[in-house]
Structure 1
């Protein structure tokens, strides 16, 4: 029984220190200069996709809403800032009353994006909007990287279910976020119970090699597992000899054995041999699950094999070689004064090395061809062309500091499936290539 069950107040951890120190030093200087109240617009975008990726996937939006809601400076946090001399007394007083009261728009979770897509737009005073930079980027960069890897793996799997099992390959809190992002990207379940508890993602798991080695024989281990979990369980058959293990598994569980798991060796060859053996033993419905350092390329190579499901760990939670999306959070417009009606004017960084930004508060829309397939990501700062009015991508997420777009995680998962289906067929190619849609600025 927890505090909520007892009717006691539940402490919600503050996210205010999930930030870089310079956010607070900028705040202090802007307060002193009298510019902190200037209405400002920040946008999250990436200048390029990771090498070889054809599209990106927006993930973590729901977690951003939680982080913004809990971004507040309690007594302990203020005490830390004061003791370390990080900000001065007037800034501490300002932070004590901080609540984000601005607006946030963005691509809905599960949507795909491309270079230059304004994935999220944060509007408010400079002071309140700048504070959110680090926490928003840390969430979107991580979750979107995992979701993109998951989406590629899901496409390669061709409808076969995927199990997220990377908790032991990353930070314990990152593991929960990764499981959530993987579910958005198309995975069916997770081995991580914290993710199942927090986000209602289906959880799966039976036994490891240690369970087999614990017992005096493989037969004893299989018997113990079947006695405990029933004949529909999944038995791990590659601890010793796969052929002998499959034979023993069917003898113990019967032809109704749920599945066997192969975690090592030549997965392609073993899958064919195990399928033939299972069929010969009458276990026609017993499924084959393969694991062992899979990525999208390994999954694609098993497309013709009699595999029923894949378990993926390391490569998934590390973004399959691209653990970040390189998203940035840039000021693109601001007012010349602090008045609520002060006119916004575009601003943009001008620098060498490909880091130039485009100023102005942006909209985005996806143009379709005559067959209803996406053909371009259109981004603009002026009026939206009439033919794109009903194809706009940004939705309202936060209004006057209140989240207005909370949704079940399955909604984001379904949205991603639909968004990916609306892209050209080449989006699913694993070969190196440019983004599947060009970004057009108008």
Structure 2
């Protein structure tokens, strides 16, 4: 570890401080050099820049997220910003437009793109998971696959995309929601082989009454055996069993879960649900959703490839301009009543009954939008039903 670990004010981890993002040092070196060059030349044009992934619609919709962080980053600067609302689906064209003196925000390009690329990727992957099992309880279990600094991002975007909860405690404190979860294999193992009943009973006695009693039932023996033992131990207090069988021992996972369901029903435990986890993705959820009440999903969300947003100047002093291969001029994106996504020049007539998606975010340096997880979640739900 570099530096003096005894200094309480020193960050012991390889992470940036919020100050580094806010002061613009969380940037690529060429923006420092660009800033130095323009300042030396006394040049600071008024520009319009747009953030885009694809210039034209491709038929592949993605979920827009990360916009609150961008708003907080640019707040107080001499800029006006319009952006798609968090949770809306987009397909080509700009998701954000920034207008102002270039040097006012040039150093922030790296962070802007990072905020949007990662969060939108998580939200898009989480929506695919949600669509795979629309009627099941689905929780985000993916924080362990990420740097801890990113946990609030993945858990917030999971909620925006429609998932029912998440597991990370500190992330919950950041976003104002309570984390949930069951029990790990470590708890069962701490009681030793053959003593699973003691572990389940201790959990039942220790945790708060409002915590669902979900017994992990695949640690030492057959899933059916442990499930029936848990049901006998906890009786009517047992809400669900979680099956998290290691993939190398899983075989036909659907068949295992069907056997568990059969055994529960045959012993009169029809009210006990089954919760499955362990490297599951959308295809697994589609296959298993009729035999499980719920799922924990992790890497299917956290392994999502970042969305390849780019930030490009499209006008200088009001005149259209762009680098080769990009589209010059200020653009607008529209959603039509049939769910279509349209991209066009802002000065042209919009499509009939088209809703302009780029809405005010910052005006004269002030944030003019509120951010609410539930409102964003509703936008995602509505767009997921409507887009074509």
**What SS is found at the alignment partner of 1:383?**
coil
- Asked if 2 retains the 8 angstrom alpha-carbon contact of 1:49 and 1:55, the reply is no
Say which of 346, 354, 378 aligns to 2:343: 378
d(CA) in 1 for partners of 2:279 and 2:59? 20
Q: Say what the alpha-carbon RMSD is for the aligned residues.
A: 2.1
Structure 2 gap segments, 5+ residues each:
1-16
Taking the TM superposition and a 5 Å limit, the aligned residue runs for 1:20-169 are 20-36=28-44, 38-47=45-54, 54-69=60-75, 99-115=76-92, 117-169=93-145
Match of 2:9 in 1: none
Q: TM-score, length-normalised on structure 2?
A: 0.88
Match of 1:365 in 2: 334
Match of 2:382 in 1: 418
Q: Does 1:242 align with 2:223?
A: yes
Deviations 1:78-127 (A, max 9, x none): xxxxxxxxxxxxxxxxxxxxx51211101100011112x21011111010
Measured after TM superposition, the shift of residue 12 of structure 1 is: 6.7
Q: Does 1:175 align with 2:155?
A: no
Say which of 358, 366, 370 aligns to 1:406: 370
Flag as ranges the 4+ runs of structure 1 deviating above 4 A.
Answer: none
Measured after TM superposition, the shift of residue 162 of structure 1 is: 1.4
d(CA) in 2 for partners of 1:273 and 1:165? 25
d(CA) in 2 for partners of 1:63 and 1:178? 13
Say which of 297, 304, 312 aligns to 1:330: 312
- Asked if 2 retains the 8 angstrom alpha-carbon contact of 1:146 and 1:316, the reply is yes
Match of 2:295 in 1: 310
Say which of 198, 222, 234 aligns to 1:220: 198
- Asked if 1 retains the 8 angstrom alpha-carbon contact of 2:169 and 2:178, the reply is no
Measured after TM superposition, the shift of residue 300 of structure 1 is: 1.7
Match of 2:8 in 1: none
Match of 1:252 in 2: 233
- Asked if 2 retains the 8 angstrom alpha-carbon contact of 1:366 and 1:374, the reply is yes
Deviations 1:5-34 (A, max 9, x none): xxxxxx974522222122221111111222
Measured after TM superposition, the shift of residue 151 of structure 1 is: 0.6
Q: TM-score, length-normalised on structure 1?
A: 0.77
Tell me the matched-pair count: 360
- Asked if 2 retains the 8 angstrom alpha-carbon contact of 1:256 and 1:285, the reply is no
- Asked if 2 retains the 8 angstrom alpha-carbon contact of 1:133 and 1:329, the reply is yes
**What SS is found at the alignment partner of 2:343?**
strand
Measured after TM superposition, the shift of residue 253 of structure 1 is: 1.2
- Asked if 1 retains the 8 angstrom alpha-carbon contact of 2:80 and 2:99, the reply is yes
Structure 1 gap segments, 5+ residues each:
1-10, 70-98, 336-343, 351-355, 425-442
d(CA) in 1 for partners of 2:163 and 2:380? 12
Measured after TM superposition, the shift of residue 221 of structure 1 is: 1.0
